[in-house]
Structure formats: structure tokens, C-alpha cells
């Protein structure tokens, strides 16, 4: 998703206590960034404007979250959405850290001792051209990076509108040693998330266009 440059985004992020601009400094010690240091750690790759992570983190205070994106404007909007959600309920953001980083290099900022139990990937770029497929966040190359820090039996939750990406991702996951626990080609009529699905902006848009949402849960 393209987004216009927002001059306020970078200054607001740098001033935010739940944004980290130097994530390399916390590899292997992300627990130090959270008040409840013993909570499980989940991450969202490509958090975009934050509609998903703001709801997810707010509804699950017993879990710590890291949400990663590479675009300041996206993260700036996400920051405001998170603040709006928590502030409207008179709560401090204590279980979420926003991070600006290139996901292709994620294993440089997260370590096995960080004990990541789950990854969320929602409507990532499908990169349909063959020469670009290795950029997919679900590509076997990326999955091998994730395996460097994921706990045993950790999960990946994945949603997409793109049938080609979805079918290829099933193969990528299996080739990388993940077991497909649940999958569907029509999430809104076959809920594999047990009523806990959070509808993202992309998901709403695609559904309104009549495009079925594909989803899966995979376990390492």
C-alpha cells in the first residue's frame, strides 16, 4: 500500500516511548522494553497503518508485541491509532513496541532467546513476478530467517487476498519444515481463528470487492 509522505511522522515516532529506532540494540533482550517482561512475545511483519496491531495488542494485555514496518508514514499513522485505542480507555501502551526495519534482515534484530511464539503476516506484497518472489515475506528464504529466532512449536498466522501467493506459501512453509494446522480459501465463511479474526483495512476492501480471503495457521 502506498502512502503519502507525512512530515509529522518521524518527529512523533522519535518522541514516542513505544517506538524503537535502534532495534539492533535489543537483539536478545527485547523483554527489557516491556513492563511485563515474562509475557509471551508475538510480532507482526508489515504492520502498515496499525489497524490490526492496535486492536490485537489492546485486546491481549498478557502478550507483548513488536510491530515492524519500513515506512515512517505508515508507522506514524499506526502510532496514532494505537494511542487513540489505548487513550480512549485510559490505558498506557505497555505491551507494544513499533519498529522501523527491513524485514528481509529481521534476524539481525531478533534472537532465539527473545522467545518469539507467533508471527502475524497480513496482506503482504504478493510480488507476482518470478524474479521478485524471493521478496515475499512467506518465501522459504524468509522462513529460514524466522526459524533462527522462533521458539519450537511457534506459529505463523497468515492472511492474503492473492491466490497465487497463498498456494505458493503453503509450499514454502512445508519446504521450510512448518506444519499447516489450519487453512481456508474463504476465511469469512470458514473461520479458522475461532472468532478472533481482526478485519484489516485491506481485508475489508477486498471482501467488499467480492474477493475471498485466504488464511492459514502453520506451526514450526
Query: What pLDDT score does 156 carry?
Result: 98
Lowest mean pLDDT among 2-11, 152-161, 162-171, 200-209: 2-11
**Residue 6 pLDDT:** 83
In the chain, the percentage of residues whose pLDDT exceeds 90 is: 96
pLDDT of res. 110 = 97
Q: Binning pLDDT at 50, 70 and 90, where does residue 218 land?
A: very high
> 31-42: per-residue pLDDT in tens?
999 999 999 999
Q: What is the pLDDT of residues 83-125, one digit of tens each?
A: 999 999 999 999 999 999 999 999 999 999 999 999 999 999 9
Mean pLDDT, residues 210-217: 98
pTM of structure? 0.96
pLDDT score at 1? 58
106 near 145, Cβ under 8 Å?
yes
What pLDDT is recorded for position 174?
A: 97
CATH topology of domain 1-114: Rossmann fold (3.40.50)
Amino acid at each position: 500500500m502506498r502512502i503519502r509522505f507525512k512530515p509529522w511522522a518521524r518527529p512523533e515516532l522519535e518522541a514516542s516511548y513505544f517506538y524503537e529506532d535502534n532495534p539492533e540494540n535489543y537483539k536478545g533482550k527485547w523483554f527489557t522494553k516491556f513492563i511485563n517482561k515474562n509475557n509471551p512475545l508475538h510480532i507482526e511483519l508489515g504492520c502498515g497503518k496499525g489497524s490490526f496491531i492496535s486492536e490485537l495488542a489492546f485486546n491481549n494485555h498478557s502478550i507483548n508485541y513488536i510491530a515492524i514496518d519500513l515506512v515512517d508514514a505508515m508507522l506514524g499513522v499506526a502510532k496514532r491509532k494505537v494511542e487513540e485505542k489505548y487513550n480512549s480507555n485510559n490505558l498506557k501502551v505497555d505491551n507494544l513496541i513499533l519498529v522501523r526495519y527491513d524485514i528481509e534482515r529481521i534476524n539481525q534484530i531478533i534472537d532465539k532467546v527473545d522467545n518469539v511464539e507467533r508471527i502475524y503476516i497480513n496482506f503482504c506484497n504478493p510480488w507476482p513476478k518470478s524474479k521478485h518472489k524471493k521478496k515475499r515475506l512467506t518465501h522459504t528464504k524468509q522462513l529460514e530467517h524466522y526459524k533462527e529466532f522462533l521458539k519450537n512449536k511457534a506459529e505463523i498466522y497468515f492472511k492474503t487476498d492473492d491466490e497465487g501467493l497463498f498456494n505458493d506459501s503453503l509450499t514454502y512453509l512445508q519446504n521450510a519444515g512448518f506444519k499447516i494446522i489450519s487453512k481456508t480459501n474463504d476465511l469469512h465463511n470458514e473461520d479458522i481463528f475461532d472468532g478472533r479474526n481482526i478485519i484489516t483495512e485491506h481485508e475489508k476492501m477486498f471482501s467488499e470487492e467480492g474477493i475471498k480471503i485466504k488464511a492459514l495457521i502453520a506451526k514450526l
